Amino acid sequence: MWENLPLFPDSASTLAGDVDRLYIFLVAVSAFFSLLICGLIITFAMMYRRKPDGRVAARIEGSLQLELLWTIIPFAVMLTAFIGGASLYVRMNTPPGEAVDMYVVGKQWMWKAQHPRGEREINDLHVPVGQTVRLTMTSEDVIHSFYIPAFRVKRDVVPGRYSQLWFEATKPGVYHIFCAEYCGTKHSAMIGKIYVQTPEEYQQWLSGVPAGEPPEVAGLRLFESLRCNTCHADTSGAAGARGPSLVGLFGKRVQLRDGGLQIVDEDYIRESIVKPMAKITAGFDPIMPTYQGQIGEEQILQVIAYIKTLRAP
């Protein structure tokens, strides 16, 4: 409905329409009440100005109807905004169905992206149309913010933690990627392009780039070269194992030494690699050394991709 408004960026994702509707609703409500209040101020100022014959207006000592009216109408309007906003917020945070995982690492001043089979890009991102894509993002230095106006999605990219964002592109084309958080001298140059292609074009594009190593394969190599496997042997609970088995671990809840429960997600694995003492699994000694400084953000993502593939047989 709003696609052709000249003030709006392209509208090219499944979320764009709903975001625009909510935005226009809020602008319309604000504009309506601003005009109404402005108009009433002017009208009343003229109606009740000082009269030459000293007449005064009748005093109103309370009106239930008026009270109800100006309570119920704003309440209904605000409730509509709240319900619209909250349901959209939930939708934006829950990728529907099967999503393709891609990884984005922000760095002063560029965006590095990696595809599921290992293809890499810098400041560019190719995605197929009509496919849900989930981005797992982090930063190597300061806070950035990954922003695709045409998709109406934006999320802060914070060092030391993962943020996720999903979209499904609906229209082939080339759209802007911006950094929306001031991050230093060249913040304004931290821009990129997102190429939305038909599935055939995307396949063709994939076959034209050096495939690179899939993240989980690179992750396995790191897992071995950093000697993670000496303590995290695959055999679950084997006598003498110094660290918990990682098989089938992702997504599960684990009991911690201090009695708490922890869901094993990307953030928890990352923390366990760089700050192993933070949360120790019950039944194990705090003996793991930190890998901070020995492993970069992209490599941590690869190790996580590998751990995700470790399913119970």
Residues that bind ligand CUA (CB under 6 A): 106, 109, 144, 179, 181-183, 187, 190
Residue (158 or 209) nearer to ligand CUA, CB: 158
Residue (106 or 219) nearer to ligand CUA, CB: 106
| Least distance (Å) between residue 299 CB and ligand CUA | 21
| Least distance (Å) between residue 161 CB and ligand CUA | 16
Q: What share of the chain is helix, strand, coil (3-state, %, to 5)?
A: 35, 25, 40
| Least distance (Å) between residue 151 CB and ligand CUA | 18
Residue (109 or 306) nearer to ligand CUA, CB: 109
| Least distance (Å) between residue 104 CB and ligand CUA | 12
**Tokens of residue 41, six digits:** 């101020």
Sheet with 173-179, strands from edge to edge, namely 124-128, 192-197, 173-179, 144-148, 153-157
| Least distance (Å) between residue 300 CB and ligand CUA | 20
| Least distance (Å) between residue 138 CB and ligand CUA | 13
- At residue 88, what are phi and psi to the nearest 5 degrees? -65, -40
CB 172 within 8 A of CB 205: no
Q: Which residue has the tokens 């229209």?
A: 171
- At residue 174, what are phi and psi to the nearest 5 degrees? -120, 125
| Least distance (Å) between residue 29 CB and ligand CUA | 32
Residue (169 or 179) nearer to ligand CUA, CB: 179
The Cα–Cα gap between 228 and 125 comes to: 32
Residue (149 or 214) nearer to ligand CUA, CB: 149
Residue (213 or 298) nearer to ligand CUA, CB: 298
Residue (20 or 181) nearer to ligand CUA, CB: 181
Torsion-angle region of residue 77: left (phi > 0), alpha (psi -120 to 50) or beta?
alpha
Q: Which residues pair with 154 in a beta bridge?
A: 147
Which of 91, 113, 83, 87 lies closest to 100, judged by CA? Answer: 113
Judged by DSSP in three states, 136 sits in strand
Half-sphere exposure of 191 (CA within 13 A, CB side): 6
**Tokens of residue 2, six digits:** 């709003």
